[in-house]
Chains A and B, each alone.
Chain A
Amino acid sequence: MADSVTNLEELKRLAPPAELGRAPVVEGNQGLGWLTDKLSAFAEAKTPLWWWIVFLPAAFAATVIFPVCLFYQVFTGVGVWGNNHPVMWGLDIVNFIWWVGVAHAGTLISALLFLTKQHWRTTIGRMAEAMTVFSVMMAGLYPAIHVGRAWFDWFMFPVPNSNGLWPQFKSPLMWDVFAVNTYLVVSSLFWFMGMIPDFAVLRDRSTTRIRKTIFTFLAMGWTGSARQWHNYEKAYVVLCGLCTLLVFTVSSIVGLDFCTAQIAGWHATIFPLYFVIGAVFCGFGMMLVLLIPLRKLCNLENIITKSHIATVAKLALVSGLIIDYIYMMEFFIAWYSGDPYERWVFGHRLFGHTYMVMGWILIGINVCVTQLLWFKKIRSNLWALFVIGLLINIGMWSERFVIVVGSLYQDFLPANWGKYMPTIWDIGLYVGTLGAFFMLYLLFVKFLPVIAISEVKGVMPEADPHHPLGGATKGAGHE
């Protein structure tokens, strides 16, 4: 009987010549067992120093700065922020959109690329989904606490009450409530479902009783039987489909908040698309920022290969180009419409003296820096990509600032015009959410399977029954 081959030379011999297939998903593959060890290594290994170095400050921001800023605002009033009249929305909403944006790449990568059968996604999908879940949490927080009377948020849910009153569903904010909640629920259960088989892996590998108990519980009795896989795969496909829809829906709805409003600079049909792409672009930026260090620190270089990173960079470039096109269109339409208010607002985004800095940061990064990604040299230079990733996040943040504040501070009647300057409490809250995000993310990296173990295995040649490595006898095709 043809015993399965496990030694490296044999693999090399049997592996399809490079020109026939893509670059291998995993470099230096040494078989399923080796793969399993490698992928679950970090979750089982002793916590390294660097983890603490990053975790502690993040945890501080999340558990001290964040609650302080939050409670001070809730018990004192929105007045502690920089918001004013006419700029009724400031950093609160800017950060909301920004976080929603960060979330998007995650879903896109794990869902859309799955449907398009991109094997390489299996290695980074899990990390991307985690990013999604945590940043949606942060995003969902803002609408809840930016209101004047946060304790009345429940007015926004259709709870039967003795007032006989209901929410007003014509308001895009109501749509937001639905959208953000849906996004949170769906993305987290998608994330969780993906992890079930891997929980089983960790369960079976676990040596201590406590780990075994926890992972047995989390794996929910997953045995990997053919029947389970059968339903599992189906469910997974469905979820991917729905998540892909989400990618395009959630940010569109956030976009509707603005384009259904009457303010010049908001009132544009392009916004839903604008926000979706902007979100994705921003998300890829964050992916670069997270992946590049982690692959090194978690010793996953040959799982998350440079080519994967490069591909993320390419996607960033594509979405970036679309964004640039949308910028062009916005300015063109503003000029072409002849609407004085539109013209004024867009003119002032770049020449407005008050916020032109933000405007030029936006152009400088989202338009200019993005172009660097055309070059293979850049795409293969991790340091460059890391920096670009950071820049993209800054650029997209300033874009949200320009959209929200830049459109509000000079609207229709000049007598209303004002300025906006965030206060320490605005910034504190933002720092707090950043801290919370990274704290959660690090906990995930430490204790949960950061790579979709079974998925990766599933796309290995050893997993293919018709591949020699899968144990297929010579010339054995389908019977």
Chain B
Amino acid sequence: MSLELKDLGITDGTDMILEGITYTFEPGRVYVLMGRTLSGKTSLMRTIAGLLDFTDGDMYFNGEDFDVLPTWKRSTSMVYQQFINYPNRTVLGNVLFPLLRSGLSKAEAKAKALEMIDKVGLSSFADRKPGQLSGGQQQRVAIARALIRNSNILLLDEPLMNLDYKLREQLREDFRELFTTSKDSVTIYATTEPAEALLVGDELLVMHEGRIIQSGVPAEVFENPNSVTVAQIVNEPPMSVLTAEISNGTFSIGHRMKSQIPAHLVGLPDGDYQAGFRASELTIGSEGDMKEEGEVDVAEVAGSETLIYLNTPTGYTIVQEEGIHQYISGDKLGITIPPERAFLFDLSGNLVVAPGN
């Protein structure tokens, strides 16, 4: 029951929307698509769902040409980032809708729907219309509708995107459990959140400009992004990428800060590189060998952390600081760069060495 894409591509005039997608999705696993907005995640999902025609390549499901099947015969379910439900039907009516063509008797269908509503925690809202529910509840309805049919393919397009932080955390937890009910399905989950990818994904596919640029086990990809682009995508906030140089046994950043070559970089040839640092690994304060003075551009609080965006002489730098702090634009701050945590990329952006755990 695998879904096989071979060199799939979509061209619209001169625009490449998808290009050279070759991948095989196996049932029972959750595939996470990561990529920036417009990287092709949604297009790929819509193509799989039959809502978008592809122009190149092939798509097979279970060995058979999938392209000949119209959307409504593909047994595909989809959850959108907007909360799409039938506004004129009740929660129960919404969840029943996909069962109407399943051949189940009315009573059976209703029992099944109520069970699913219970599972997404909406049993007391079965008679309400979507307009009377909160955003999170609406999305639960949408998820219930997607799950109830036991489709061969389950597509979730950033389902948590428009929810607030708390709900997101909560639903995220629920997902693992909910997805286990669909063992026979190929589940594809698009997100921009690394945390989500790590939590729900069995496989991670990183997309950029219509291509899959890296795939693998999420933790693996996270630790070893094969390029600056991937590193930027899978880290939230993105990595700070600074110019680096190895010469004569010294490792320098921005041609200014110098330190000894850290252990994981020993043995590399001299030359210019790029060094990437996760925001969580940069710290505020001036300690150690590599320190930098920067001017705060923006600072924002996310949960129990503070994100600080700084302009430094070396480049734009993002620092994540534990706790809640208040900075205003223009504040001067010292930051400390830990050279032993540098992801080293060559000048064309390919990974040379990752720091490892």
B partners with A: no
Residues on B lying within 8 angstroms of A by beta carbon are: none
